[in-house]
Chain A
Amino acid sequence: SAVISQKPSRDICQRGTSLTIQCQVDSQVTMMFWYRQQPGQSLTLIATANQGSEATYESGFVIDKFPISRPNLTFSTLTVSNMSPEDSSIYLCSVVPLSGHGYTFGSGTRLTVV
């Protein structure tokens, strides 16, 4: 199955700043997704990262706040912009492996905004 390297693993950021999270996959994948998991909560889909075109955002998430890039089939970034303490969460990228069975998740980025 695909192996995902997600960076950074954690960060503490000042409010009003931005953080870019990177997700590198060791093989080409068709689908890449970004999720948010607030402490003790479930996973909420932020957006689908589309290769070569604009990401598809879920209700409640907008491009200005969470710009996403996906320049090729193995790499994507998520930026959390103009951060506030409410953005403190774990952010996870995930991919659908070639087998098509099950998402593979990155190890997550634990973000704390102070």
Chain B
Amino acid sequence: GQQVMQIPQYQHVQEGEDFTTYCNSSTTLSNIQWYKQRPGGHPVFLIQLVKSGEVKKQKRLTFQFGEAKKNSSLHITATQTTDVGTYFCAGLYNFNKFYFGSGTKLNVKP
């Protein structure tokens, strides 16, 4: 089946440090979405990237979609304790079915 690889699996940062998670697909994606899941919660949609080379920002979060539409990244500037959670990318291959990456669990120490 389709697979989206995501790294790192875990990231521990000091509050104020930056954080980046990366997703990679062996085949071209139609688009990619990013989700955040707080501990004990369900995934919450953050953003969708569609165009090759697209960059979108949400406050301290910057999302990028690679030129070849095979990779993507989420970068958080100056992390806060409210950023704690697991961040998932989800790649769309066809028919509106998204395949989720393995997730990056972010812990922020105050």
- Which residues of A come within 8 Å of B, CB atoms? 31, 33, 41-45, 48, 58-59, 92, 96, 101-108
Contact = CB atoms under 8 A, between A and B. Distances in A.
Contacts of B42: 92, 105-108
| Interface range on chain B (Cβ under 8 Å from partner) | 20 to 34
A102 B88 CA distance: 12
Interface of B: 1, 33, 35, 41-48, 88, 90, 95-103
Nearest to A110: B40
Nearest to A40: B105
Contacts of B98: 45, 103
Given A43-B43, A102-B48, 6 more contacts: A31-B96, A48-B95, A92-B42, A102-B47, A104-B45, A108-B42
Contact of B88 (A42, A59, A104): A42
